[in-house]
Amino acid sequence: MGVAKVSEVVNPITVKLEDGRFIHLAGLDFPDLDFYESGDLAVTTQKILEDFLKNKKVVIYQTKSKDKGRVNRMGHKIAHLVRIDNNVWTQGLLLSLGVARVRTTQYNPEMAAQMLSLENQARINKSGLWNMDEHKILTPEQAQDHIGSYQIIEGKVQNASLRKNKLYLNFGNNWRDDFTVAISAFNLKKFIRKKIDPKSWNGKLIRVRGWIRSYNGAYIEIDHPERFEALFEQQQN
Q: What is the CATH number of the domain that holds 40?
A: 2.40.50.90
- On whether both 122 and 146 belong to a single domain, the answer is no
Assign residue 226 the CATH number of its domain: 2.40.50.140
- On whether both 126 and 147 belong to a single domain, the answer is no
- On whether both 76 and 175 belong to a single domain, the answer is no
Encode the chain (237 residues) as per-residue pLDDT tens digits.
699 999 999 999 999 999 999 999 999 999 999 888 889 999 999 999 999 999 999 999 999 988 899 999 999 999 999 999 999 999 999 999 999 999 999 999 999 999 999 999 999 999 999 999 999 999 999 999 999 999 999 999 999 999 888 999 999 888 778 999 999 999 999 999 999 999 999 999 999 999 999 999 999 999 999 999 999 877 555
Count of structural domains, the chain: 2
Query: What is the H or E stretch that residue 47 is in?
Result: helix 40-53
Confidence at residue 1, expressed as pLDDT on a 0 to 100 scale:
67
Rounded to two decimals, what is the model's pTM? 0.93
Domain boundary among 131, 160, 189: 131
Taking the CB of residue 178, how many other CB atoms lie within 10 A of it? 21
- On whether both 87 and 164 belong to a single domain, the answer is no
- On whether both 103 and 122 belong to a single domain, the answer is yes
- On whether both 10 and 126 belong to a single domain, the answer is yes
- On whether both 49 and 120 belong to a single domain, the answer is yes
Domain boundary among 89, 114, 131: 131
Instruction: Please choose, from the candidates 12, 32, 8, the residue with its C-alpha nearest in 3D space to the C-alpha of residue 20.
Output: 8
Residues of the domain holding 113: 2-131
- On whether both 87 and 171 belong to a single domain, the answer is no
Confidence at residue 28, expressed as pLDDT on a 0 to 100 scale:
98
Between CA 38 and CA 49 the distance in angstroms is 15
Confidence at residue 143, expressed as pLDDT on a 0 to 100 scale:
97
- On whether both 153 and 80 belong to a single domain, the answer is no
Find all residues with CB under 8 Å of 133, minimum gap 6, and list them.
none
Residue-level length of the chain = 237
Report DSSP state, residue 202.
T
Instruction: Please choose, from the candidates 127, 52, 128, 43, the residue with its C-alpha nearest in 3D space to the C-alpha of residue 88.
Output: 52
Confidence at residue 47, expressed as pLDDT on a 0 to 100 scale:
97
Instruction: Please choose, from the candidates 30, 111, 12, 33, the residue with its C-alpha nearest in 3D space to the C-alpha of residue 69.
Output: 111
Cβ atoms of residues 106 and 114 within 8 Å:
no
- On whether both 162 and 115 belong to a single domain, the answer is no
- On whether both 127 and 167 belong to a single domain, the answer is no
Query: What is the H or E stretch that residue 118 is in?
Result: helix 112-124
Helix H, strand E, coil C: the string for 183-195 is EEHHHHHHHHHCC
Between CA 107 and CA 104 the distance in angstroms is 8
